[in-house]
Structure 1
Amino acid sequence: MIRALLLRLSVSVAALAAVSVPALANPAVVVDADSGQVLYSQDATRPWYPASITKLMTVYVALNAVREGRMTMDTPMIVSARAARMPPSKMGFRPGTEVTLDNALKMLMVKSANDLAITVAEGVDGSVEGFAGEMNRTAAKLGMQDSHFVNPNGLPAADHYTSARDMAILARALYADFPDEAGLYDIGALELNGRIIANHNGLLGRYPGADGMKTGFTCAAGFNVVASATHGSRHLIAVVLGSPSAKERNARAADLLENAFGSSSGSGSLESLSPVGGSPPDMHGTACAGHHGNYVADLEDDSAAINVSGSDKTGGRNFFLFGGTQSSGASGMEIASRERPVFTPEHVYIGPAPGWTGAVAGASPGTKRGKTDANAEPAATTAYAQQKAKINGNPLSAEDPYAQPLRLVEEPAKKGAKAKVAHVKPHTKLAQSEAKAPQPPVKPKGKIKPKKPATNP
């Protein structure tokens, strides 16, 4: 009992410290999504590595392509070899897999899939380089003065940066310009062929009224979040960059939102904040301390047990929190420490939409890696990738512990042959056993030795 009391006391002290001692080193901003009034700002224009919150710009550019009639949400896109080479977090689809833009964007927001970010970029503009150019033109059009993008997923690059102010501008634009797609940002979990994929956003289901948007993490960036919440008729957006952990990121965002909802005073507009310039800091020593630099998906999430459809790792309890009401003055750390509610997963699939007869989008024929393409990574197991990751302060793991790739039934057509549709079957135990089953020997032709059968990734 004494031990329990001491533990409770230590948690309370930590929560109090989190509220009373502000994290002065980290940029943050809170803005009214409708009026654009800034309710809080701290180093909001300081350049920062965005990590996966980059994918909000990827979504904006993709939705704009739909608005301009260049493609539809049902347009299927081809996963290229370049996309498949991306390090985790990823879906792990093999080259030749088809995925619709609608499904790709949902996986992008929930799983934060680096491979599908490349797929979307190549599907929209034919190449990563062309898409990055469109990202930068869009940023300039929206008034994002502190941003420059070189890839669609936020993997480390020296000239890929943003600011808290710019991400708040982008978040407001997403809600204002594409209101019908607001549901992309609050999906608690996805279901793909029986596989459950939980959202990394730890505010969903914990902070009352939380309805988006996106988290991001690399060792160089620290833990970032663009958070959206609605209380009654008020819709606020908070951006927190460079937190040392996912829990502290969530706690600070919750505190900022709670304080802002309790106040109506502001300090001008996002556009009125003056840029400070400079280079983004490297948060490697803070964000990855104790993690040995592992770039793995679970660093994005502070929840030890994700609850989905009434089942969790601690006993399968069903529970719901808040119901969209006020949090009764709870501190951000208390909110960040709460268990998650049950999420009903949204179904996604791979392959074309039923009845689709239109074109398939993908990388332009003959597209090559440009000299300035900072995103075109070789496989994470190569010496080049490891060396580059180390330079960027973000060592890569060779495999995503959550990735369960789907196996192609038909291999992509040979060059010059009529293209075949790549069908997939779930990565089930049956599929695994089939993949491991011994293959019949290949009879050599003449003196040519038979090739060894390819292995499934």
Structure 2
Amino acid sequence: MSRLSSLIACILTSSLLALPLLAEAAQTRHKHSSKQLARAKAVGKVKSFKLVRKGKVTRLVAVKPHKRGSHITRVSALPSTLDQAFDQPALFSSAALVVNATSGERIFEKNSQALAPIASITKLMTAIVTLDMQLPLSEPITITDDDVDTLKNSSSRLLVGSTLTRGEVMHLALMSSENRAAHALARTAPGGLAAFVARMNRTAQSLGMQRTRFEDPTGLTSANVSTANDLIRLVQAAHHYPEIRAYSTSESYNFISSVNGREYSFHNTNPLVKNEGWQIGVSKTGYISEAGKCLVMQATINDTPVVIVLLDSAGRLTRIGDAQRIKKWLESSPAAMLRAG
């Protein structure tokens, strides 16, 4: 009897010692199953799961999706919750907005209401105001010392004393972002520089750009501020002007200087206008240190006209890379195509 008692005591002791190990093993299996489930869901290989009990063991198994022709209908064009959370272009620009130019549908946005300096995006408004004043584009304009940048001391190959037509000056302001050209457009307008800037602000308000403010016609001052949301309106308005469409997307322009008789060649600051994969209707770049690298465009992507606004990108080419990422996303993502209409 004493031997039997000893045996029972030994069995009970072993069982008690084994309980923590069994609990740990069960917890490990549960974690492993959870990881498999999460991984399977992430890659989209498993549609749904159910618990199957066989004897005393409960297993988590995949349920195969219903084959076509079954009574369950799936709308494959609609993105899942997972797609909506993760199917977004990863952009380096601090603020961005992509809008369907026809319907106004917002396709993508990031900090679209953040107020920021807009640098030479300003020149689109400079061109709009100039054209609205119906000043003759064939009228000659001479670049003077007043047009030289003394705020940022930016360089220019548009020599003081150069005489071009107003149309040529606007061309250089939009295509090459020439600050002297933009300043000359405002300086030579009736009423002078101050009256011209006042017109810029009135035009912004008339377009519904409620948070936009202009202090100069070039964008060299960081006091020229706007939001991605407001700039959508600016690009949309600019697209209505044939001259802005032509000048802003022109690849290059050559002319003979009236100062020294030499030929000068100016090029577009947006390399995408030379890319055959892009259909660009309006383009404008911008940069000052306070604004970072900026880019706005009206373009047709995947047969849909869109407006793209990218603000405050740090790297030299990151704004171009962001535009390319948006284009690829619009062309390949079901979620993006759905939003684009």
Same fold (TM over 0.5): yes
Please report how far the alpha carbon of residue 254 of structure 1 lies from its aligned counterpart in structure 2 after TM superposition. Answer: 1.6
Which of 184, 192, 205 lines up with 1:127 in the alignment?
192
More strand by proportion, 1 or 2?
2
Q: Is the 8 A contact 2:114 2:228 kept in 1?
A: yes
Please report how far the alpha carbon of residue 29 of structure 1 lies from its aligned counterpart in structure 2 after TM superposition. Answer: 0.4
Residue 185, structure 1, aligned to residue 248, structure 2: yes
Paired with 2:286 and 2:175, the residues of 1 have a C-alpha distance of 11
Secondary structure at 2:271 match in 1: coil
Query: CA-to-partner distance for each residue in 1:388-417, whole Å, 9 max, x for gaps?
Result: xxxxxxxxxxxxxxxxxxxxxxxxxxxxxx
Please report how far the alpha carbon of residue 180 of structure 1 lies from its aligned counterpart in structure 2 after TM superposition. Answer: 5.6
Please report how far the alpha carbon of residue 156 of structure 1 lies from its aligned counterpart in structure 2 after TM superposition. Answer: 2.3
Which of 54, 59, 79 lines up with 2:122 in the alignment?
54
Q: Is the 8 A contact 1:238 1:257 kept in 2?
A: no
Secondary structure at 2:194 match in 1: helix
Which of 292, 317, 322 lines up with 1:252 in the alignment?
322
Look up the match of 2:227: 163
Unaligned runs of 5+ in 1: 1-18, 269-457
Look up the match of 2:145: 81
Question: TM-score, normalising length from structure 2?
Answer: 0.65
Q: Is the 8 A contact 1:84 1:92 kept in 2?
A: no
How many residues matched? 243
| Two-structure CA RMSD over aligned residues (Å) | 2.5
Residue 149, structure 1, aligned to residue 217, structure 2: no
Q: Is the 8 A contact 2:272 2:278 kept in 1?
A: no
Give the greater-gyration-radius structure (CA).
Answer: 2
Paired with 1:246 and 1:220, the residues of 2 have a C-alpha distance of 14
Paired with 1:148 and 1:93, the residues of 2 have a C-alpha distance of 30
Letter in 1 for 2:246: G
Q: Is the 8 A contact 1:89 1:113 kept in 2?
A: no
Secondary structure at 2:317 match in 1: helix
Paired with 1:175 and 1:205, the residues of 2 have a C-alpha distance of 19
Paired with 1:32 and 1:167, the residues of 2 have a C-alpha distance of 14
Please report how far the alpha carbon of residue 92 of structure 1 lies from its aligned counterpart in structure 2 after TM superposition. Answer: 3.1
Map 1:46-445; keep pairs closer than 5 Å. 46-66=114-134, 71-86=135-150, 87-95=153-161, 97-157=162-222, 159-176=223-240, 178-179=241-242, 181-193=244-256, 194-206=263-275, 208-211=277-280, 212-231=282-301, 233-262=303-332, 263-266=336-339
More helix by proportion, 1 or 2?
2
Question: TM-score, normalising length from structure 1?
Answer: 0.49
Look up the match of 1:42: 110
Structure 1: 4+ residue segments shifted above 6 A:
none
Secondary structure at 2:274 match in 1: coil
Please report how far the alpha carbon of residue 162 of structure 1 lies from its aligned counterpart in structure 2 after TM superposition. Answer: 1.0
Please report how far the alpha carbon of residue 91 of structure 1 lies from its aligned counterpart in structure 2 after TM superposition. Answer: 3.7
Paired with 2:206 and 2:149, the residues of 1 have a C-alpha distance of 32
Letter in 2 for 1:213: S
Please report how far the alpha carbon of residue 30 of structure 1 lies from its aligned counterpart in structure 2 after TM superposition. Answer: 0.7
Paired with 1:78 and 1:85, the residues of 2 have a C-alpha distance of 16
Query: CA-to-partner distance for each residue in 1:8-48, whole Å, 9 max, x for gaps?
Result: xxxxxxxxxxx998247610001122332221111111111
Secondary structure at 1:238 match in 2: strand
Q: Is the 8 A contact 2:119 2:219 kept in 1?
A: yes
Paired with 2:190 and 2:338, the residues of 1 have a C-alpha distance of 42
Which of 12, 19, 30 lines up with 2:98 in the alignment?
30
Q: Is the 8 A contact 2:270 2:284 kept in 1?
A: yes
Q: Is the 8 A contact 1:56 1:170 kept in 2?
A: yes
Q: Is the 8 A contact 1:72 1:101 kept in 2?
A: yes
Unaligned runs of 5+ in 2: 1-86, 257-262
Paired with 1:29 and 1:98, the residues of 2 have a C-alpha distance of 39
Change (3 A) 1:184 1:25: closer
Letter in 1 for 2:292: G
Letter in 2 for 1:92: L
Letter in 1 for 2:175: V
Paired with 1:207 and 1:162, the residues of 2 have a C-alpha distance of 31
Please report how far the alpha carbon of residue 179 of structure 1 lies from its aligned counterpart in structure 2 after TM superposition. Answer: 3.8
Letter in 2 for 1:48: A
Q: Is the 8 A contact 2:302 2:330 kept in 1?
A: no
RCO higher in 1 or 2 (8 Å CA, sep ≥ 6)?
1
Paired with 2:243 and 2:122, the residues of 1 have a C-alpha distance of 21
Paired with 1:125 and 1:161, the residues of 2 have a C-alpha distance of 25
Look up the match of 1:435: none
Secondary structure at 1:204 match in 2: helix
What percentage of residue pairs aligned between the two structures are identical?
25
